[in-house]
Amino acid sequence: MRQAKREVEITLHSIHIPVTGAGLDITTSHLLTADLVWPRTGTARKSASQSCTLREGAAEFAAANWGRRILFKETVEGRFALAVTVTESLDDEELEKILRFWAGAALAVGAGAVDGAAGPLGELAAAPLEYASKAVAKYPGASLLVEGLAELDAADFPPSGGERLLTVRLVAARKLLRVTRRTVNSRSRVTRKILLEKGADNGDVTLSVRTL
């Protein structure tokens, strides 16, 4: 049976992350990375990154410049997956440095980042999340805040000229803690409160998918 094939443009529509772990900061900056996993035969992975600013954990991109929303213009065929990761809050200098680092790291990834020999799609699609976690971990001062994964098929998308929204559920990529320091009787005390356990629901990212 012949697999469905589509040429798609994927752009950011909105992000909602209720728990950013950024304390009292209302506005936070993050790096969002999206990976297409085996979008078509012979192509194991395609990756794209965009910086994003959240206000109270949310952002809308409808009014943003197209160049700030676009993630992919790609051909997808049959079954594939879309993985999304978002870093913790970064200041402007950290964000600029990690963007440069990530651009270099992405060049080092080939088909070996995904083991296509065997296993269900879920196992294959998990590889970019693991890669992203390890790559970001190499950069001091940054770690992943949330991650998400959607298993898709080219047939899920409308014929040429159509458009649909795709929402990817996000979960905590690590245990999120709130650390409070206070002085009692001239002694410093530290308390830690668990905000979210690793794997707990923590919002979603919605993408606009337009078929070319």
For the chain, how many structural domains are there in total?
Answer: 1
Q: Who contacts 65 (Cβ-Cβ below 8 Å, separation ≥6)? A: none
Q: What is the pLDDT of residue 49?
A: 84
State the DSSP string of 118-158.
SS-HHHHHHHHHHHHHHHHHTSTT--EEEEEEEEEEGGGS-
Axis-axis angle for helices 121-137, 92-107 (nearest 10): 130
Q: What is the pLDDT of residue 92?
A: 65
Please report, for the domain that includes residue 50, its CATH number: 2.60.40.150
Structure token digits, residue 177: 């803690």
Q: Of 2, 10, 3, which is closest to residue 32 (Cα–Cα)? A: 10
Q: What is the pLDDT of residue 31?
A: 86
Q: What is the pLDDT of residue 86?
A: 93
CA dist., res. 212 & res. 38, Å (int): 19
18 near 171, Cβ under 8 Å?
A: no
37 near 45, Cβ under 8 Å?
A: yes
Indicate the average pLDDT of the chain.
79
Q: What is the pLDDT of residue 123?
A: 40
Provide the residue range defining the domain that includes 202. Answer: 5-211
Show the low-confidence residues of the chain (pLDDT under 70).
1, 23-25, 92-142, 179-181, 184, 190
Q: What is the pLDDT of residue 162?
A: 92
Q: What is the pLDDT of residue 25?
A: 67
Q: What is the pLDDT of residue 194?
A: 84
